[in-house]
Amino acid sequence: MSQATTMLPQRPRAFRRLSSDDATQEALSIRSPTVVVPPKHLMAPSDAHEIAAAMEFARHELEEFSSPMSSPETPPVTNVTDKYAFAFDIDGVLIRGGRPIPEAIEAMKVLNGKNAYGIKVPYIFVTNGGGKTEQERCIQLSKQLEIEVSPGQFICGHTPMREMASKYQTVLVVGGEGEKCRQVAEGYGFKDVVTPGDIIKDNPDTTPFRKLTADEMSDSRARNFAEVKIEAIFVFADSRDWAGDQQIILDLLMSKGGYLGSRSETFNEGPPGNVEENIVY
């Protein structure tokens, strides 16, 4: 089996360790490498610490790479191999009914160095579940598996869409509960995020069989959508009302230039759609 690559750091980089009981999305959103730690491992890191930290360092390195002022840092000393890695789904693979699967616990131990070669193998968590930030999922999984986990190990169904945040000004984001997907999109850097609730609040006849609740009416943002150009459509998670949301999506796809209430003569002038995989109808 290939041995791990060990490199001496030119300048060490600090990172934070936050208890999973106290960690918040806001704390994990600070631009500083952070590992979420079960309380019992705060004083004595577990075998999972090194992989979680390595993946978090890599995430920050990639995020900063595009900056002209940034310069790559030499990785810290590590026993984590760079020859291969594992990607795990979560529901039904690591967690079932909110509880860890016993075999998953054993698999984590093997990857974290308890194997015949003493090698630690990096791993990430890939989930098609949307409507939560990577930080929220990190805290949740750390509590469930009782091991160190970092946001750098998470890829949600909508994570790749963050790369498009600078491309569009106003976007429609569909799916999830309440305002969660709007908050996720704004956290990715999308400038002007519209939800189906906003559109229904402006014109209830858009979806005559759906009525907004009092909370939805309060959270939705009022504006005149006849004057708003929606440049792209993103489905971040399963919809809670596919009938209404599909009607809004179809109206936009058939619109002229992304203006609701207009109709394209060719039906190919609407905004592009971007959908996370494995949505449930």
**What mean pLDDT do residues 215-227 have?**
95
Report helix, strand or coil for 65.
helix
Six token digits for residue 19: 């208890």
The C-alpha atoms of residue 233 and residue 240 are separated, in whole angstroms, by: 17
Report whether pLDDT(144) > 50. Answer: yes
Give the Å distances, CA to CA, from 85 to 82, 145, 224.
Answer: 8, 19, 49
Percent of the chain with pLDDT over 90: 57
Q: Are 110 and 98 in contact (CB under 8 A)?
A: no
226-274 tens-digit pLDDT: 999 999 999 999 898 999 999 999 999 999 999 999 999 999 999 998 8
Candidates 135, 154, 156; CA nearest to 18 is 135
Task: Return the pLDDT at 70.
Answer: 53
Six token digits for residue 258: 């992304």
Task: Return the pLDDT at 168.
Answer: 96
Percent of the chain with pLDDT over 70: 86
Task: Return the pLDDT at 2.
Answer: 46
Report whether pLDDT(8) > 50. Answer: no
Strand partners, 156: 127
Q: Tell me which of 1.10.3470, 3.40.50, 3.30.450, 2.60.40 is the CATH number of domain 16-156.
A: 3.40.50
The answer to whether domain 16-156 and domain 159-275 are alike in fold is yes
CATH 2.60.40.10 fits 159-275, yes or no: no
Q: Where are the domains of the chain?
A: 16-156, 159-275
